[in-house]
């Protein structure tokens, strides 16, 4: 675990002839080898700007970046390519090029003038493709791969540069859910197995909270805090970075929930997965789950089945699926609203739900 | 489902398998390139034999190898007329193909070529400025011999026009994302250049106008041995740039950002490629007229035959294929009985346009589709 990336009083942003727009400043960050850093923040907070500055795609406004202890500005372009591999969001479509040849392009900083692949080059390419578990796809045309598969080969191509640092800008943006989880898992494994320092920006908060060794969290107001996910949760930085009027971060679940008006109270009896899911159904319908309340719905769930009983006031209902529970919950709220408006319809008797 | 093949990967069978695949794709490329070499030799000999007068192939070979020492009329015909013409066709075809390939890679656009990006129009403007405005000092490069100075002036103007076009279009293309917009910018530049040319043409005398129109038909016959000393070296410089930058062109396949992250000095490469394409497009336009469609069609033919976008194979294949197609077009346009009736440009368009249509229809499988 050595320091691979270090920023010292770094300020990033854009400079035009007339103006200087600072996006983030006073950054003192470190990323170590063997560690995966997830860079999180809402759109427009400067995640891409930071990654681009670390990769020297754009210049820093002030301060410095050290790569393996060497100042970023002092590295030649070839040296830089041998230390930092980059993967971008954009879909790169190159027809009539096998996936393997895409990876071979990563040997660019090691080629002589002719661009001929030596045996050593081929060995590194084999290793890189193996490292992303994609050997069985290597001879396919890169256009025929799925987005997730193609992104794996783009990572293999970055690995073929034999860097000590991987910078990835939202590599999961176009991917479906299994591919996202897969790719983040892959990055984590690469960080550990190949002793790489990986910095990856993502919008996948829950995945990042579970998989990152370190979070770089950009909160509104241009503040960046760094720390392990659990420290960040405890310190409230995660909530601060993302909370809005309509969503609230729930630390125990490490997830966000939509803030809605409470339409009733419910007590869930039972345990195991089914009880948790029953509570989720009721929450979605606007009930607050409590342990005690005078006019609460009392929901009892069987342990191994989805059959449920509801007691409210004097009436009893039962059913055998969460679908019917949701239907009942909706009907009860509807009935309650009607009663509130002094309508003649009454709540309790109307439900005959027996699915 | 996913675990099984992953485990199998670690057994020894898999690497051997990959090596075999790797070898087979490379061997296909070698075979295609070897076949192209043979085809080029055959078409080259045919182009020397077929024209207004048929010269038997054995006599052609005899002249080429120096076995035929008697100064027969066929000997003079081949030495002084057909050989420079066929060499010009070969070089011009290679030049246009390479310029098209460079543009397609640099702009990451399958429909880019010297024509679409306004290079040919820019070059035409340069030629027109010199040809139509300068009185008797400089004459049409292929009408008569006024010495190398005149040729050099026209050529320089043509290259300058081409360079202007490509810098304007590339400058603007950095501000737009959509590849189609870039092509439209190129077309617009072409129209603007063409408008200037029209103004020049309108004010010129009928004699020059006639030569201008003939130049517009395109021809490989204008480069005699004297002009070849200017034409060939310039084309070879342009081809040399592409041959020495195949690895850089490969890096550009993934776009400029990735290329830069892998160690390519993108700005320098861009200038070098633009200079090369300007020289190739400008020189050919100056000496042979604006020849349509070869630039766009030849790289696509080669990608299709080779099955790869790898420039290490694509550059030599494009040079060979450019020669083959240009010589074929020349043979067709000069078939006995239709000389003058079937201009070169009509032939290249008839060959090239269908290729472009096919590329458009199969766009999803071609290079650089977005």
Greater confidence (B12 vs A5) lies with A5
* Predicted pLDDT of residue A333: 80
In a domain, A222, yes or no: yes
Q: Are residues A21 and A86 in the same domain?
A: yes
Residue B263: band (very low, low, confident or very high) from pLDDT cuts 50, 70, 90: very high
The domain tally of chain A equals: 2
pLDDT at residue B264 tops 60:
yes
Greater confidence (A346 vs B282) lies with B282
In a domain, A22, yes or no: yes
Q: What are the CA-CA distances from residue B101 to residues A15, B243, B277, B320 (Å)? A: 36, 12, 9, 13
pLDDT at residue B144 tops 80:
no
**Of residues B330, B333, B316, B367, the one with CA closest to residue B32:** B316
Of B246, B261, B264, the CB nearest to A86: B261
* Predicted pLDDT of residue A291: 86
The domain tally of chain B equals: 1
Greater confidence (B360 vs A187) lies with A187
* Predicted pLDDT of residue B7: 33
Q: What are the CA-CA distances from residue A350 to residues A317, A331, A340, A346, B305 (Å)? A: 11, 9, 16, 7, 74
B247–chain A nearest CA distance, Å: 5
In a domain, B58, yes or no: no
Q: A155 CB near a chain B CB, below 8 Å? A: no
d(CA A185, CA B109): 35
Chain-chain contact of A94 with B368 (C-beta, under 8 angstroms) = yes
* Predicted pLDDT of residue B239: 97
Report chain B's C-alpha Rg in angstroms. Answer: 22
In a domain, B146, yes or no: yes
To which H or E segment does residue A67 belong?
A: strand A62-67
Chain-chain contact of B25 with A109 (C-beta, under 8 angstroms) = no
d(CA B40, CA B28): 18
Q: A228 CB near a chain B CB, below 8 Å? A: no
In a domain, A230, yes or no: yes
pLDDT at residue A75 tops 90:
yes
pLDDT in tens, A93-148: 888 899 999 999 999 999 988 888 999 999 999 999 999 999 999 999 988 999 89
Q: pLDDT above 70 covers what percent of chain B?
A: 84
pLDDT in tens, A307-327: 888 887 778 888 888 888 888
Q: A163 CB near a chain B CB, below 8 Å? A: no
Q: Are residues A103 and A74 in the same domain?
A: yes
Question: Which chain A positions have a beta carbon within 8 Å of B9's beta carbon?
Answer: 130, 133, 135-136
Region B53-62 average pLDDT: 84
pLDDT in tens, B6-26: 333 333 334 444 555 555 677
pLDDT in tens, B87-108: 999 999 999 999 999 999 988 8
Max avg pLDDT among B119-133, B202-216, B306-320: B306-320
Q: pLDDT above 90 covers what percent of chain B?
A: 32
In a domain, B3, yes or no: no
Whole-number average pLDDT of chain A: 87
Region B275-285 average pLDDT: 90
Could you tell me the CATH number of the domain that includes residue B161? 1.10.3470.10
Q: Are residues A317 and A338 in the same domain?
A: yes
pLDDT at residue B142 tops 70:
no
H helices within chain A, ranges in order? 47-54, 77-83, 99-104, 119-131, 147-160, 177-193, 205-211, 229-234, 237-242, 273-284, 322-340
**Of residues B94, B80, B97, the one with CA closest to residue B43:** B94
Q: Are residues A224 and A292 in the same domain?
A: no
Q: Number of A:B CB contacts under 8 A?
A: 110
Q: B26 CB near a chain A CB, below 8 Å? A: no
Q: What angle do CA B216, B217, B221 make, to 5 degrees?
A: 105
ipTM: 0.82
Q: Are residues A124 and A95 in the same domain?
A: yes
In a domain, A355, yes or no: no
Q: Are residues A242 and A312 in the same domain?
A: no
* Predicted pLDDT of residue B102: 94
Q: pTM of the full predicted structure?
A: 0.83
* Predicted pLDDT of residue A55: 93
In a domain, A275, yes or no: yes
In a domain, B324, yes or no: yes
d(CA B22, CA B144): 54
Question: Which chain A positions have a beta carbon within 8 Å of B369's beta carbon?
Answer: 93, 95, 143
In a domain, B126, yes or no: yes
Final residue of a domain: which of A255, A284, A303? Answer: A255
* Predicted pLDDT of residue B155: 86
Residue A312 contacts residue A348 (beta carbons within 8 Å): yes
In a domain, B116, yes or no: yes
Q: Are residues A210 and A76 in the same domain?
A: yes
In a domain, A173, yes or no: yes
Q: Are residues A250 and A333 in the same domain?
A: no
DSSP character at residue A244: B
B89–chain A nearest CA distance, Å: 28
pLDDT at residue A304 tops 60:
yes
Final residue of a domain: which of A227, A255, A283? Answer: A255
Region A260-276 average pLDDT: 85
Of B6, B21, B365, the CB nearest to A95: B365
**Of residues A262, A207, A254, A210, the one with CA closest to residue A234:** A254
Q: A119 CB near a chain B CB, below 8 Å? A: no
In a domain, B106, yes or no: yes
Q: Are residues A59 and A140 in the same domain?
A: yes
B112–chain A nearest CA distance, Å: 15
Q: What angle do CA A184, A185, A187 make, to 5 degrees?
A: 65
Region A65-82 average pLDDT: 93
Residue B362 neighbours by CB under 8 Å, 6+ apart: none
Q: Are residues A248 and A134 in the same domain?
A: yes
Q: Are residues A191 and A297 in the same domain?
A: no
Region B21-49 average pLDDT: 88
Q: Are residues A237 and A277 in the same domain?
A: no
pLDDT in tens, B191-209: 998 898 888 888 788 877 8
Final residue of a domain: which of A229, A255, A281? Answer: A255
Chain-chain contact of B260 with A57 (C-beta, under 8 angstroms) = yes
pLDDT in tens, B338-350: 655 678 888 999 8
Query: B57-71, B100-114, B136-150: which has the minimum mean pLDDT?
Result: B136-150
Residue A305, domain extent: 264-350
pLDDT in tens, A14-47: 988 888 899 999 999 999 999 999 999 888 888 9
Residue B183, domain extent: 85-365
């Amino acid at each position: 675990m050595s320091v691979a990336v270090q920023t010292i009083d770094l300020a990033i942003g854009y400079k035009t002839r007339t103006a200087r727009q600072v996006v983030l400043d006073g950054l003192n960050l470190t990323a170590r080898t063997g560690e995966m850093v997830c860079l999180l923040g809402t759109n427009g907070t400067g995640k891409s700007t930071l990654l681009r500055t670390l990769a020297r795609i754009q210049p820093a406004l002030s301060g410095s970046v050290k790569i393996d202890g060497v100042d970023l500005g002092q590295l030649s372009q070839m040296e830089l390519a041998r230390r930092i591999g980059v993967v971008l969001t954009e879909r790169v479509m190159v027809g009539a090029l096998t996936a393997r040849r895409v990876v071979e392009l990563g040997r660019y900083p090691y080629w002589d003038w002719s661009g001929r692949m030596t045996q050593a080059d081929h060995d590194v390419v084999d290793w890189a493709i193996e490292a992303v578990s994609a050997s069985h796809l290597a001879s396919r045309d890169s256009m025929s791969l799925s987005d997730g598969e193609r992104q794996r080969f783009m990572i293999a191509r970055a690995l073929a540069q034999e860097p000590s640092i991987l910078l990835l800008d939202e590599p999961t943006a176009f991917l479906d859910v299994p591919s996202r989880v897969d790719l983040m898992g892959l990055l984590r494994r690469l960080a550990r197995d190949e002793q790489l320092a990986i910095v990856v920006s993502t919008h996948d908060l829950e995945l990042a909270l579970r998989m990152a060794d370190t979070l770089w969290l950009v909160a509104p107001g241009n503040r960046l805090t760094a720390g392990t996910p659990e420290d960040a949760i405890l310190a409230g930085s995660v909530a601060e970075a993302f909370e809005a009027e309509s969503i609230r971060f729930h630390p125990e679940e490490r997830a966000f929930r939509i803030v809605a008006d409470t339409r009733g109270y419910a007590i869930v009896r039972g345990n195991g997965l089914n009880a948790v899911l029953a509570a989720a159904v009721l929450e979605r319908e606007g009930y607050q789950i409590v342990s005690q309340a005078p006019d609460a719905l009392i929901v009892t769930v069987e342990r191994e089945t989805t059959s449920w009983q509801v007691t409210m006031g004097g009436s009893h209902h039962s059913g055998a699926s969460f679908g019917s529970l949701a239907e009942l919950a909706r009907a009860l709220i509807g009935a309650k609203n009607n009663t509130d408006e002094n309508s003649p319809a009454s709540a309790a008797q109307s439900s005959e739900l027996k699915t | 489902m996913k675990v099984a093949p992953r485990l199998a990967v670690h057994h020894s069978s898999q690497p051997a398998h990959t090596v075999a695949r790797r070898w087979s794709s490379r061997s296909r490329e070698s075979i295609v390139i070897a076949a192209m070499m043979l085809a080029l030799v055959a078409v080259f000999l045919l182009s020397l034999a077929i024209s207004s007068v048929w010269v038997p192939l054995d006599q052609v070979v005899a002249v080429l190898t120096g076995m035929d020492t008697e100064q027969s009329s066929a000997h003079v015909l081949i030495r002084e007329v057909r050989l420079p013409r066929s060499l010009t066709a070969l070089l011009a075809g290679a030049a246009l193909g390479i310029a098209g390939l460079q543009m397609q890679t640099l702009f990451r656009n399958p429909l880019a070529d010297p024509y679409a990006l306004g290079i040919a129009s820019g070059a035409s403007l340069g030629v027109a400025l010199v040809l139509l405005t300068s009185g008797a000092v400089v004459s049409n490069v292929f009408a008569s011999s006024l010495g190398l100075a005149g040729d050099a002036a026209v050529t320089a103007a043509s290259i300058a026009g081409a360079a202007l076009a490509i810098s304007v279009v590339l400058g603007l293309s950095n501000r737009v994302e959509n590849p189609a917009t870039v092509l439209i910018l190129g077309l617009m530049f072409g129209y603007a250049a063409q408008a200037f040319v029209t103004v020049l043409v309108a004010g010129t005398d009928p004699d020059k106008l006639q030569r201008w129109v003939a130049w517009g038909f395109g021809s490989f016959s204008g480069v005699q041995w004297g002009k070849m000393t200017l034409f060939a070296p310039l084309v070879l410089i342009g081809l040399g740039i592409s041959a020495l930058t195949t690895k850089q062109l490969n890096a550009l396949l993934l776009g400029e950002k990735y290329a830069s992250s892998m160690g390519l000095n993108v700005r320098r490469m861009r200038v070098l490629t633009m200079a090369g394409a300007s020289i190739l497009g400008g020189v050919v336009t100056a000496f042979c007229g604006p020849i349509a469609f070869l630039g766009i069609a030849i790289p696509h033919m080669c990608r299709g035959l080779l099955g790869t976008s790898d420039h290490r194979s694509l550059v030599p294949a494009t040079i060979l294929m450019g020669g083959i197609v240009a010589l074929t077009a020349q043979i067709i346009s000069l078939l006995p009985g239709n000389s003058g009736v079937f201009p070169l440009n009509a032939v290249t368009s008839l060959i090239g346009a269908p290729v472009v249509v096919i590329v458009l229809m199969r766009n999803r499988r071609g290079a650089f589709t977005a």
